Amino acid sequence: MIYSKRIVEGKQNLGASYNIKAKARDLRKNMTIREKILWNKLRKKQQNGMHFRRQHPYGIYILDFYCFEANLALEVDGKIHLSKKEYDKERTRFLESSGLKVLRFKNEDIETQIDWVIKLINKYLIKW
């Protein structure tokens, strides 16, 4: 039984280092306003009964939101991402190659179209 638990834990964080885990803890304490808005819609299994984690360590990355059951990563992109397009593409390729589906939303989407954002997330969760 312990063996299978280790496999699940390993898949969930893909061998994230202690430093990545510590940074994720800090990010959870200092979420952006947009992340807080989305988190209030995701927490406590509100979306199709699926459990989401916030600021979840995954390999060398930290996912804004992660649903292990659906292999789904949600990313909230602020203005900083305008100058990090190549980095984001490489990151998305890595995440998708490890079996995750990545959905990206802009800050403006979270602020002005949260119902649309939730509808897209649920559309993916229903297919899962």
pTM (two decimals): 0.85
Return the H-helix or E-strand segment holding 89: helix 85-97
Is 2-127 a domain of CATH 3.60.9.10?
no
Q: What's the CA gap between 116 and 26, in Å, rounded?
A: 29
101-110 pLDDT per residue, tens: 999 999 999 9
Radius of gyration of the chain (CA): 14
Domain ranges of the chain: 2-127
50-83 pLDDT per residue, tens: 999 999 999 999 999 999 999 999 999 987 756 6
Q: What's the CA gap between 111 and 13, in Å, rounded?
A: 29
Q: What's the CA gap between 2 and 49, in Å, rounded?
A: 26
